[in-house]
Structure formats: structure tokens, C-alpha cells
Amino acid sequence: MPYDGRLLSGVTVLMAVVEAGSMARAAHTLGMTASGVGRAIQRLEARIGVRLLDRTTRTMHLTDEGRRFHERVGPHLDGIEEAAVEATGATSVVRGRLRVNVDPFFSQLVLAGHAGRFLALYPHLRLELIMRDAVGDLVADGFDLALRFGDPPAGSFTARKLFETRVLTVAAPTYIQRRGGRSTLPTCPTMTPSTSGTPRTAVPMSGNCAAATRCCRSASRPG
């Protein structure tokens, strides 16, 4: 049976009549006239080919076919109402999936300590953090946004600055002693050991290794 908007309209009128107990009260609830409600019921009965209501001047009740029809369509109408309420609430409740393209360094340094609190604030949100070195094509790859240090890459992106930060290049004094001092950043090693012993690619930064070494020495001095 093809979709017919008048069929759904007639079902809505029938449900109102059953709940109200009379066509007059249903007409008041629906903002219709009693004769308009009667015609809607007649059109519905003609549409499905069965008599749904037995009515006299004083009484009205569902026929056996009407009762079975009412029991079948009732849950579907409730589902439509629930879907409408849920859709309305979606404008004020953050829900769904947020897929983020994030730099691995940024993920470890910044996001790791805040992701749990963020999800606690938005319990209906499903967060997916995909760590990639390059932004790539956000739309084609199905990302909602990307988080990066520095200037945004060229392209048709809408960029927002979240905060400003300063990054220093540092090394342990023993590392400098083994490798030898360097006066400029380009001659510094591009691989540095992490705290777990696994090599990690260094992030380009301004400054020089000598200055970073002095900073590290100062920070590690007892007292």
C-alpha cells in the first residue's frame, strides 16, 4: 500500500476519538468540528475497507476490526511521537559521534588529560580520536574537525585559534654529553628518546639546542 498522508491523518483522528470517548470531545482536542471528525472517520473506513466504529446518537464503541486496528497502529503512533520529542531535544543535547583528526604529539600533550572530563560533560557523545601526521581531506575521510599546532594548512578550512602556547626544545645533559653540543637547531638529532625508551619524532620548534640545554640544566638542579 503506497504512503497516503490522509491515511495517517485519519488514524490520528481515530486515536483521538478513542482516547476522548466521543467525537465532540475529540473535535475540541483536535481543533475541529464534530462533523469534520465524523467525515475523517468515514474516509478512513472507506480507505481501509472496514467499519471501525459502531456509533449511535448516544453510544460509540470500536468494532472488532476497529479494536484490532487500534491495537496495531497505537504503538506506531507512540513511536512517531517519541521520535519527534527526541528530534526536538537534539537541538539542546549534545549527542552523536565526533570524529577528530589530531596530531599524535598534541593528543599526548594536551588532550590526554582532558578527554575524560569532556566526555563526562557530554555523556551522549561518542568521541573518536584518530591520530595522523597530516590533516588530509577532512570531508573525504569522514572527519568533523582537526586539531593542530601552528598555522592551519592551506585549503578551504574554517580555522579557529583555541589558545596560544610556547614550545621549547630540551634535552637531558647526559644526552648532550653523549651526542656533543650543537649551536643550531638544524644540526640537532631529529629523533629523541621518549620516557618509555621508544624513539619519537621531534616537533619543529624555534630556538637552539644550546639554549634548550641551559634550560634543562637549570630545571634539573637540586633545590
- Residue 160 in any domain: the answer is no
Last residue of a domain, one of 89, 123, 158: 89
**Phi and psi of 176, rounded to 5°?**
-65, -40
CATH value at residue 51 = 1.10.10.10
Strand 125-131 and strand 199-201: the pairing is: unpaired
**Contact between 24 and 36 (Cβ < 8 Å):** no
117 and 182 part of one domain = no
Q: Which residue, 30, 4, 6, 36, is CA-closest to 16?
A: 30
Last residue of a domain, one of 89, 106, 128: 89
Q: Hey, which residues does 127 pair with through a beta bridge?
A: 98
78 and 100 part of one domain = no
9 and 85 part of one domain = yes
- Residue 167 in any domain: the answer is no
Lowest mean pLDDT among 20-34, 111-125, 134-148, 177-191: 177-191
In this predicted model, what pLDDT tens digit does every residue of 43-100 receive, in sequence order?
999 988 999 998 876 778 899 998 899 888 888 888 887 777 777 666 667 778 888 9
- Residue 161 in any domain: the answer is no
Q: How confident is the model at residue 184 (pLDDT cuts 50, 70, 90)?
A: low
- Residue 164 in any domain: the answer is no
107 and 72 part of one domain = no
Q: Which three cell numbers stand for residue 79?
A: 513511536
> What is the reported pLDDT for 119?
87
- Residue 154 in any domain: the answer is no
15 and 62 part of one domain = yes
- Residue 211 in any domain: the answer is yes
By residue count, the chain amounts to 223
CB neighbour list of residue 200: distance below 8 Å, 6 or more residues apart: 191, 192, 193, 194
Number of domains in the chain: 3
Residue 206 sits in which domain range?
Answer: 173-220
- Residue 79 in any domain: the answer is yes
130 and 184 part of one domain = no
- Can you spell out the DSSP letters for 29-78? HHT--HHHHHHHHHHHHHHHTS--EEE-SS-EEE-HHHHHHHHHHHHHHH
Last residue of a domain, one of 65, 89, 113: 89
74 and 26 part of one domain = yes
pTM of the model: 0.40
